[in-house]
Structure 1
């Protein structure tokens, strides 16, 4: 039992009582899991809208006896199996990491204190709560006193004092103090579990632009394929008087061409593989999609302690103030007061740990004063206090403790602040009530000089973010000059531009300061949150890193939150990304993984969308101009396999460090539209010429298939640039694969011999397609640039 843990007469539950509650189901286990269960993974891959469409399509093809056109089924089954296996592998790894990072609680059982996983707690357990702990179940205070922040539940950032018989809500966190609490509602009966269940029912907005864009694509395609399919069948069977078999085959070919069957799967696998790669580097993702968000970040807000610096702190020296005489007679008495203060204070943070470690070096200087009342440290007041018989004493940040007298002590501590040291003042308060706002004078007695080593790889990490155009803002509760010096040593750009956030007392001041300053000192937790919100309002994508309870509000509002595992439990549970080894140097790894996922999925999405655009437009033309859709399902499957599916998946696995630019859907459409239009115009012209020259429909179908392959490899070549051996290999392998299937499996894929006229048309339209694609690409890119200039001009005028 450490010095911080108060002695208590409480015994807690016995093993028998615990077992009884386990049997009754009163265990702190919830069903509100952040990730999918095994059943949910299997069902989400198996029972999808498009799988239902494929099932109906398969039944229709079997009904008309077109078994050859069932070639898409092995691909669909393979997609389902790969998706399930990869998600299960990612879940297995994440579950293991979550166990390591699971919240723990100090519980009293059989009269002894033990640490167990919070999920193993039962109703009526007595737990010890201290600063940094997240309250894991609804409880009632039975001994002690704590300051609790319920902002994550209520939105109110005020710290609420909880004393004996006060209720504690699960999901809130302890800011300061210590108490013993008895659990009343655990597991699914707790407040936070019910709130989470309601949130799941209500749903939430998708934070990932990539997933949101893909969901929109899938949604609209899912809506339009049914009426288009019905129109195609009606046009073929009733208007063009085709056979039932031919009408169904044509309709199925068009529908298969419109369904992006592998795109969502590709995204899921890419995210799952990235999650597994990051796990090997001790990076835990509470939300897989957060890697994309972090890759898009353009402002990174960092706390000083635990992020720029290491988590450990140490006291360099305890320096007597020039004014301690008159309060205490000798320096020895002052040192003893400092020792007594450290014995009395019960805060659980790096600063107090360093102070307690330092006072141990005084050996025989045991505690001589008995504290009458104790006021724990909070990040809002930035001081703690102890009342002894001799008076009230305060330890905290000089600016907050001394207030208007701060300038009087600057000559004594200024040199330490300028060299990046953290300075606390120990003073005597001339008032009686230190628990409320300080109104009386504080006489400085001594100064605690602390050092916090800068992380060895801090310079390299911040240099990386500078190269990537990411602006770094340092937001800390420490003295702004101290933070500025630490930031300068860490290589942060414009570290000399610092400001004391206590002077930013209005919203407008805070917003304008964001444009001018890099370092913000003496920031309260609520101000951190407001700074993040202000940056977001200005159109920035913001990441927030932290390790303490004072960072949680800002982390929850940030687009992406990153926590150090060595920090407070509440912070690690609130964050989307947790650095399990607390090494900030891993941040570039997460960014690069995000870039690989977004850039590669974006590139592969172009391939999928080309087929969708072509098939949709050709279906509409078929209905309008009264001609039968020229391709068969097996031919669409062949093209999809070698110009979309296989190259798309292989390219998605390639390392890609390119910066993410623009919006996902827009980027995909700009690159896919020229190829899709080229396919439609080229195949439409080929069908028209086939009618003019009275060519057999099988010849036109085969020529159309090969023409689509040519355009497919043209777009594949364009999006693969710049080339390397792997990309050359991917293209060559897929060309050979297509040739092999066309020659040796031609019956399966409905590839027939063509007449000489048809071969000539194929060659002519292939060359024409290359030129058409080139000019369409240039035209669409020119239009995009023109509209961007118009938008920028309007924005400049509005400013």
Structure 2
């Protein structure tokens, strides 16, 4: 054995391990369970509610602490969802092969990829993934580097050639010496940017955080002023009562159920998508994808499967089809270790070779007609070489053929087939079959090659690609194809799957400045020969124009663009770097899953917008009333437990039912604006009703606090019911049943558990006052709802 192929000795390996020169896993790690728990528990939202609960605890009125149940549920759901996502992510295979063969102490042995050390001699054959950057020391092979460069063309490697980690050996066997390990590997360096934290770009999250920040700024000063006004001035109010009414005002300002609702709805979407083999690694990316107006697609692995297939065989002159088919198949099959191209030819012809006991199936139009394809015996094989770009064979009987790149096979006679080759090469690789006189002792062609046929081999397009592309077109999403391949080939494939204006393509090597690239981003739909850095700049250029951009990819070359995009989608079979940085991972590697993700996002957002308005009614109501009752001489008319009754039946239950219904409408407008517009009619109506009841009850009817509080609770519930009815149009059996349950729940709580919720028996004057307030509330609410709705619809039309 060659001394240089004996590999390291055991002592050499031990020394390198001691120095840390070992191929440790440098991939992105998911957060620990402890980190997940801490981040979900220690939030400003939870802190505010905990402080309020402590004030209630001091009063000894423990029933008024029931609002904390919602807080606990919200936190638990957040933790469970993230832990579930973590475990699913951790189960994904980080590298295609977890074992590798190495030469150590002169013997070949199998070890884990994370046991490889610097200087190891690794043995790589067809189908193996290169675990570390290496240099070939013996043998030759064809390597697929598409995950790294985006270029699907095979690269020939021989002694002295560099092998990049993450690439795959397509054909041949080599011995290679490891030059980098762990974080020093090429793939690890490119994906280093993926490890940096990226803020979540979610309009819903930003809106909710904005509400919480606003509430947190005013809640305690407002609460302190309200408490001081009630306890230290005006009519005498006991300390505990002043605390409870002040806390009730503050609890009402916090849309705690909205946070829970949002987490729950998105968690349900995550579960539904997981059944469709879609892993959601970031909860709010579902919303982002539903808002996307520009989708950037990587060709390999997204539109195509990453495999090759024969598109067609074209005979030239008077060549017999049977001769061409037999020669193509026999030459490809003669290769002991066929590369990707040869394997595509073998697969193309295999189903027309009669097999013992096999049933002949009908074939696609591109397959040979129903005729037997003869497989010739081989006397001599001339293997493929990256230098000569062809392979050949001498068949039994003496006939000799070559198959390869037409320019290299035909030489000066290439002009005779040039036009036909270029026509086929629009979206495929083209090889020529030629009959020759034979080969000399060194394998060179003897005689003048006579071209017989052309075979076009193209990327295998996913069967569902065209349908999926059509879906996004119908949804008004602009599609861009970004690839490292030849732009003409990419354009041809894009046209096949129906991408609009796919004939508008550009070679990214001609875009020499950022300005040229930014201009191209708006002018072209197809980009070829794009570098990883250019992919990122294209995404940023589109975002600069105001677009919400999603990016799909599967290779290390896609990582920078995936990270920069608003929503990133990766294939599970792709590189570990792409999977780690992506917010969504298609576990079944099927781009056809994308419409389901968009549909789930739309259902979640549209329903959340509708349901969130119920929560903001309470928030706006509580804020305005808190300010009013600082000025008015009476006690704030609600207790925390009463707000729980209102929240449970007129907000919580209906919001969850409405939020989980089917809804595929397109997203329109801003989340917060949509929610506020729907909530203001209810808020204004409830504020007017509560203030009116307080004024009349205290100045005219002579009612006490408990009686006034009872009417205020029920009239607020009544206004909430009016909003639920409007949000339920058009009625369905479920929505009708919801309204019945809401009415029944409020009546049940008020009659069966009056002491729990502080509900007093109605007197005649209370009945009259409540009836008048409820009756007036109906036209006022409907008038406001129609006015705000008309204004909002007109505003949206102006923004389109």
Match of 2:67 among 64, 67, 72: 72
Match of 1:59 in 2: 54
CA 1:369 to 1:78, structure 2 compared with 1: closer, same or farther past 3 Å? closer
Match of 1:499 in 2: 505
- For 1:505 and 1:283, locate their aligned partners in 2 and report how far apart those are by CA, in whole Å: 36
- For 2:384 and 2:286, locate their aligned partners in 1 and report how far apart those are by CA, in whole Å: 51
Contact 2:296 2:552 in 1 (8 A): yes
CA 1:700 to 1:611, structure 2 compared with 1: closer, same or farther past 3 Å? same
- For 1:667 and 1:365, locate their aligned partners in 2 and report how far apart those are by CA, in whole Å: 77
Residue 613 of structure 2: SS of its match in structure 1? helix
What is the 5 A alignment of 1:75-114?
A: 75-96=70-91, 98-99=92-93, 104-108=97-101, 111-112=107-108, 114=110
- For 2:3 and 2:556, locate their aligned partners in 1 and report how far apart those are by CA, in whole Å: 25
Match of 1:300 in 2: 295
Contact 1:544 1:558 in 2 (8 A): yes
Residue 450 of structure 1: SS of its match in structure 2? strand
Match of 2:281 among 281, 286, 303: 286
Contact 2:298 2:483 in 1 (8 A): yes
Q: CA deviation at 1:231?
A: 1.4
Match of 1:610 in 2: 617
- The alignment status of 1:692 with 2:699, answered yes or no, reads yes
Contact 2:28 2:580 in 1 (8 A): no
- The alignment status of 1:731 with 2:721, answered yes or no, reads no
Match of 2:248 in 1: 253
Match of 2:553 in 1: 546
Deviates more, 1:408-417 or 1:678-687: 408-417
- The alignment status of 1:627 with 2:621, answered yes or no, reads no
Deviation string, structure 1 residues 132-159 (Cα, Å, up to 9, x no partner)? 999988x78695899999999xxxxxxx
Residue 311 of structure 1: SS of its match in structure 2? strand
Q: CA deviation at 1:642?
A: 1.1
- For 1:205 and 1:79, locate their aligned partners in 2 and report how far apart those are by CA, in whole Å: 21
Match of 2:666 among 654, 659, 665: 659
- For 2:291 and 2:487, locate their aligned partners in 1 and report how far apart those are by CA, in whole Å: 29
Match of 1:677 among 677, 684, 702: 684
Match of 1:216 in 2: 210
- For 2:122 and 2:612, locate their aligned partners in 1 and report how far apart those are by CA, in whole Å: 51
- The alignment status of 1:205 with 2:212, answered yes or no, reads no
- For 1:301 and 1:779, locate their aligned partners in 2 and report how far apart those are by CA, in whole Å: 41
CA 1:103 to 1:724, structure 2 compared with 1: closer, same or farther past 3 Å? farther
Match of 1:28 in 2: 24
- For 1:560 and 1:533, locate their aligned partners in 2 and report how far apart those are by CA, in whole Å: 13
Match of 1:771 among 762, 776, 779: 779
- For 1:298 and 1:582, locate their aligned partners in 2 and report how far apart those are by CA, in whole Å: 23
CA 1:609 to 1:727, structure 2 compared with 1: closer, same or farther past 3 Å? same
Radius of gyration: which is bigger? 2
- For 1:132 and 1:623, locate their aligned partners in 2 and report how far apart those are by CA, in whole Å: 75
Q: CA deviation at 1:411?
A: 0.7
Which ranges of structure 1 fall in alignment gaps of 5 or more residues? 1-5, 153-160, 323-330, 376-383, 387-393, 428-443, 793-799
Length, aligned pairs only: 726
- The alignment status of 1:744 with 2:740, answered yes or no, reads no
What root-mean-square deviation, in Å, do the aligned CA atoms of Structure 1 and Structure 2 show?
A: 5.3
Match of 2:710 among 702, 705, 712: 702
Match of 1:431 in 2: none
Match of 2:226 in 1: 232
Contact 2:505 2:528 in 1 (8 A): yes
Deviates more, 1:279-288 or 1:702-711: 279-288
- For 2:430 and 2:526, locate their aligned partners in 1 and report how far apart those are by CA, in whole Å: 18
Q: CA deviation at 1:701?
A: 0.5
Q: CA deviation at 1:562?
A: 2.5
CA 1:729 to 1:107, structure 2 compared with 1: closer, same or farther past 3 Å? same
Deviates more, 1:588-597 or 1:304-313: 304-313
Match of 2:762 in 1: 754
Match of 2:586 in 1: 579
Contact 1:604 1:648 in 2 (8 A): yes
Contact 1:290 1:560 in 2 (8 A): yes
CA 1:11 to 1:662, structure 2 compared with 1: closer, same or farther past 3 Å? farther
Residue 213 of structure 2: SS of its match in structure 1? helix
Deviation string, structure 1 residues 98-129 (Cα, Å, up to 9, x no partner)? 25x6564553456546585x667788877679
Match of 1:533 in 2: 540
Contact 2:194 2:581 in 1 (8 A): no
- For 1:411 and 1:90, locate their aligned partners in 2 and report how far apart those are by CA, in whole Å: 54
TM-score, normalised on structure 2?
A: 0.74
CA 1:237 to 1:150, structure 2 compared with 1: closer, same or farther past 3 Å? farther
Contact 1:714 1:770 in 2 (8 A): yes
Deviation string, structure 1 residues 607-638 (Cα, Å, up to 9, x no partner)? 22221111111111222334321111110111
- For 1:226 and 1:162, locate their aligned partners in 2 and report how far apart those are by CA, in whole Å: 69
Contact 1:236 1:628 in 2 (8 A): yes
Residue 681 of structure 1: SS of its match in structure 2? helix
Contact 1:552 1:570 in 2 (8 A): yes
- For 1:225 and 1:634, locate their aligned partners in 2 and report how far apart those are by CA, in whole Å: 19
- For 2:212 and 2:157, locate their aligned partners in 1 and report how far apart those are by CA, in whole Å: 50
Deviates more, 1:305-314 or 1:218-227: 305-314
- For 2:707 and 2:162, locate their aligned partners in 1 and report how far apart those are by CA, in whole Å: 79
Match of 2:726 among 705, 715, 718: 718
What is the 5 A alignment of 1:12-23?
A: none
Residue 313 of structure 1: SS of its match in structure 2? strand
Q: CA deviation at 1:487?
A: 3.8
Which ranges of structure 2 fall in alignment gaps of 5 or more residues? 149-155, 318-323, 351-374, 391-402, 435-450
Q: CA deviation at 1:601?
A: 2.6
Deviates more, 1:300-309 or 1:760-769: 300-309
Match of 2:359 in 1: none
Deviation string, structure 1 residues 72-118 (Cα, Å, up to 9, x no partner)? 2444444444554455445444444x25x6564553456546585x6
- For 1:703 and 1:11, locate their aligned partners in 2 and report how far apart those are by CA, in whole Å: 87
- For 2:188 and 2:527, locate their aligned partners in 1 and report how far apart those are by CA, in whole Å: 36
Contact 1:396 1:426 in 2 (8 A): no
Residue 256 of structure 2: SS of its match in structure 1? coil
Residue 539 of structure 1: SS of its match in structure 2? coil
TM-score, normalised on structure 1?
A: 0.74
Deviation string, structure 1 residues 644-663 (Cα, Å, up to 9, x no partner)? 22222333332322222222
Deviates more, 1:707-716 or 1:649-658: 649-658
Residue 60 of structure 2: SS of its match in structure 1? coil
Q: CA deviation at 1:687?
A: 1.6
Residue 650 of structure 2: SS of its match in structure 1? helix
Match of 2:439 in 1: none
Contact 1:297 1:470 in 2 (8 A): yes
- For 1:295 and 1:210, locate their aligned partners in 2 and report how far apart those are by CA, in whole Å: 12
CA 1:193 to 1:59, structure 2 compared with 1: closer, same or farther past 3 Å? farther
